[in-house]
Chain A
Amino acid sequence: MSVLKGQELRIIGFLCNWCSYGGADTAGIGRFVQPTDLRVVRVPCSGRINPLFIMKALLYGADGVLVSGCHPRDCHYAEGNFYARRRLEVIKALLPALGIDPRRFEYTWVSASEGRRWQHVVESFTMQIHDLGPARRLPDAPELDVLKMVAAE
């Protein structure tokens, strides 16, 4: 099981439960057809999203990361998305310094009623990632082959 070869790329979305997850549901209820690449991680609030989740995903195998929360001033928790906005904006600056295309990460605001907008966001972001193609991955340590090591002893 993997991303469908030649068809999908690995795109991870972090969505706040109250607005954007609901917006994605609204898009589903409206049968607004979208590309299938995106996998959604539900979090209570965009303020819950540690920017390091995004970096972790991008460094460990995601081709794109999308964050969506409530529109500013509409946060279910009053202020969470205000903090998120600053943190997400700042962390974006780390991508070019690492050699990662900054277009691989976007954040936006989608309310629970904006099914159409959600469809548009998913379409646009998926297209953007497909234009960029698969991301380069930094190598992990080679797997230790314990049996071979024992044999060599």
Chain B
Amino acid sequence: MRIGVFICHCGSNIAGTVDCASVAEQAAAFPDVVFSTDTLYACSEPGQDAIIEAIKEHRLTGVVVASCTPRMHEPTFRRAVERAGLNRYLFEMANIREHVSWIGKDMQANTNKSAELVRMAVAKLRLNTELKPKFFPVTKRVLVIGGGVAGIQAALDAADAGLEVVMVEREPSIGGKMAKLDKTFPTVDCSSCILGPRMVDVAQHPNITLHAASEVEAVSGYVGNFEVTIRKKSTCVDWSKCTGCGLCTEKCPAKKSYDRFNEGMGHTSAIVIPFPQAIPKKAGIEKEHCRLFRTGKCGVCAKICPTGAVDYAMRDQIVSVKVGGIVAATGYDLMDWTVYEEYGGGRYPDVITSLQYERLLSASGPTGGHVKRPSDGREPQSVVFIQCVGSRDCSVDRPYCSGFCCMYTAKQAILTKDHLPDSQSYVFYMDIRSPGKGYDEFTRRVQEEYRARYIRGRVSLVYPKGDKLMVRGADTLMGTQVEVEADLVVLAVGGEAARGAPHLAEKLRISYDAYGFFMEGHPKLKPVETNTAGVFLAGSCQGLKDIPSSVAQGSAAAAKVIGLLSRDMLESDPQIAQVNAGRCIGCGKCISVCPFKAIQETEARGLPKVEVIETVCQGCGVCNATCPQGAIQLSHFTDNQILAEVEALCRF
């Protein structure tokens, strides 16, 4: 092999702590290296051109680039060597930025380490072979998990582009958190007025199949051809018969049931249509509240239903569907704020969450839009908002900023004044975070026009005094203690990953961070991709974000899926297992460990052997590590290639 080595300075990112010229000089002496140089930015256009030039000029048959992580630019350089006529797998990278220059300051040690990493890369490259992808057909259908605003946007965009969309929503209606909001910032326009029509579009779009009250049970397969199992949870109402007339909800005797949609701010019936604009507008029984399920005596809804849709014996239903791509848009949940004992830990009825307050403000809410204290139904005069409850607080393991609370608190203060012109709002804040179009102006308006009093400081205690609540905190700008008498305290509770998000991530085989938010492929350049091909992210499941950002991500994820499924055939990664039939004894150990069932028995000249189903193999290499005689080898990560890397290190 004729190998060329390129040591990238990455400006000063690498060259600052690695002597790149020295590494290039050392590399020139490595076996099969015929050309070696250092370069300012290998990934830039002149950098790539120089590689292509060198391949031609020095008749290189293999290239090593020592630069950043291969997770960043391996595809870039593979394309570059391909442009010069080399097979893209005759290329190796040495990671001397993330793994060397950025983590050590000792120039001598870094230079030495870089040279060794290049030596490893050269040793492996000498055993690389040309690999060519195979092609396989794709299923032109996409699964959208989660029917909040991000999922709705992704679904509609994909459906408009002609793709079939399957949407799975855990709740009985789509709409997500946005459906619960009264108004949205910074325009203060009606949330359900802008979301409602989009929800109707989902219901009516010929390309969209909606499974509400359903969850993804299992996912198998791979990009282009996922097999998804969906559990449609029993609602005890046959939705093909239910017309959404609501007669059952009126006659249901269990009127004191917890109202989930209204965040417990009101009561509802045990058979319930979550809210008037629900999509689908179908009734469902909440078994824990239903008299029939609790006492065995009732059955009123079944008797009253004009279409006979109520079926108490209804069971969960399992459906499976094949899709080519998946968009996860599972959103967020509020963190459990009751860990804050200083705010009463949930014992004071007039300390409520911001989402509960939204329901009190909403005309379709339990109070019809009249702001009333939960304790006695009085209109509050003094309303205190406490920000950063469960955000930016290491003591409850929520060090991150939830991002949207500053803005919705400002909005709620404005709405409070609109609803109760004589009221006074107080906002305890840490910092006002309002980057965004028209956002900062909005937070000024609430203070200057609506006369909300903003107090910079944290609240240390909320305690009852008579029928009021006393809010004690610091005013760090004045350097004083303050105590405010409040009729109502609204906590701007931060968000966290949706309940069960890690569990779904495991099913989708995507990564998630310490807080359960799904990991994007790259924090800047792949914000809606994941590291699992064919799985994309939209909305707050990736990290908390407001409505405009969620919608933007929904569209972005849809664009990615549309791009993926616009092709009739996909390229399969050729880094898959290969069987050397001459060495295989057909013992079948590889078959038993393969996570993808990608290996099957076969026969050669009457002897038992195995073979790999090329489009099913995902290239994990478990089989390779299992085969005692090494008859099955993972291409590009063969035993010999890994051993060569080990030996390159151990020899010295």
Contact = CB atoms under 8 A, between A and B. Distances in A.
Direct touching of A and B (C-beta under 8 Å): yes
Interface of A: 1-4, 7-8, 10, 12, 17-19, 21-22, 24-25, 27-29, 31-36, 39-45, 47-51, 53, 56-57, 60-62, 70, 73-80, 83, 87, 111-114, 119
Interface in B250-265: none
B519 interface: yes
Interface string B97-109: 1111011111011
A78 B509 contact: yes
Given A43-B637, A83-B593, A31 B103 contact: yes
B120 interface: yes
Interface residues of B, number: 59
A129 B542 CA distance: 38
A48 B511 contact: no
Contact of A28 (B69, B117, B620): B69
A47 B72 CA distance: 23
Interface stretch (B128-136, B306-314, B472-480, B640-648): B640-648
Contacts, number: 164
Nearest to B643: A56
A21 B514 contact: no
B265 to A, nearest CB: 36
Contacts of A78: 509, 595
A1 B112 CA distance: 7
A10 B646 contact: no
Sorted nearest first, the 3 A-B pairs with minimum C-beta distance are A28-B98, A48-B621, A61-B650
Given A31-B103, A60-B647, A77-B620, A41 B120 contact: yes
Given A7-B109, A25-B71, A43-B621, 5 more contacts: A29-B98, A44-B619, A76-B511, A77-B509, A80-B622
B618 interface: yes
Nearest to B627: A50
Contacts of B619: 44
Which residue of A40, A50, A113 has the most chain B CB atoms within 10 A of its CB atom? Answer: A50
Contacts of B106: 36
Given A7-B109, A53-B643, A47 B622 contact: yes
B649 A113 contact: no
B103 A33 contact: yes
Nearest to B116: A39
Contacts of B637: 43-44, 48
A3 B652 contact: yes
Given A39-B113, A43-B642, A57 B650 contact: yes
Given A10-B649, A74-B511, A76-B509, A24 B620 contact: no
Nearest to B593: A83
B29 to A, nearest CB: 9
Interface in B474-492: none
B652 to A, nearest CB: 5
A16 B283 CA distance: 48
Contacts of B109: 4, 7-8, 36
A4 B649 contact: no
A138 B642 CA distance: 22
B620 A80 contact: yes
B98 A113 contact: no
B652 A2 contact: yes
B625 A50 contact: yes
B119 A1 contact: yes
Contacts of B639: 50
Contacts of B95: 25, 40
B505 interface: yes
B103 A28 contact: yes
B41 to A, nearest CB: 18
A50 B511 contact: no
B506 A56 contact: no
A48 B622 contact: yes
A39 B652 CA distance: 13
B592 to A, nearest CB: 11
Nearest to B514: A113
B86 to A, nearest CB: 21
A57 B646 contact: yes
A73 B593 contact: no
Contact of A18 (B102, B115, B531, B595): B531
A62 B197 CA distance: 65
A114 B132 CA distance: 34
Contacts of B622: 45, 47-48, 77, 79-80, 83
A44 B620 contact: yes
Given A41-B645, A44-B575, A31 B620 contact: no
Nearest to B532: A76
A42 B642 CA distance: 9
Contact of A36 (B110, B506, B532, B645): B110
Given A43-B621, A48-B622, A48-B624, A61 B651 contact: yes
12 contacts: A21-B71, A28-B102, A36-B104, A39-B113, A41-B645, A47-B622, A48-B634, A61-B652, A62-B646, A74-B511, A76-B531, A77-B595
B70 interface: yes
A74 to B, nearest CB: 6
Nearest to B109: A36
Contact of A1 (B116, B532, B595, B642): B116
B26 interface: yes
Contacts of B571: none
A135 to B, nearest CB: 11
Contacts of A24: 98-99
Contact of A79 (B511, B595, B621): B595
Contacts of A25: 69, 71-72, 95, 98-99
Contacts of B643: 53, 56
Which residue of B70, B98, B652 has the most chain A CB atoms within 10 A of its CB atom? Answer: B98
A26 to B, nearest CB: 8
Contacts of A7: 109
A120 B71 CA distance: 22
Interface in B333-382: none
B511 A62 contact: no
Contacts of B116: 1, 39
Interface string B19-59: 00000001000000000000000000000000000000000
Contacts of A83: 593, 622, 625-626
Contacts of A111: 511, 513
Contacts of B98: 24-25, 27-29
A34 B69 CA distance: 17
A34 B625 contact: no
Contacts of A70: 511
Contact of B514 (A60, A80, A114): A114
B99 A47 contact: no
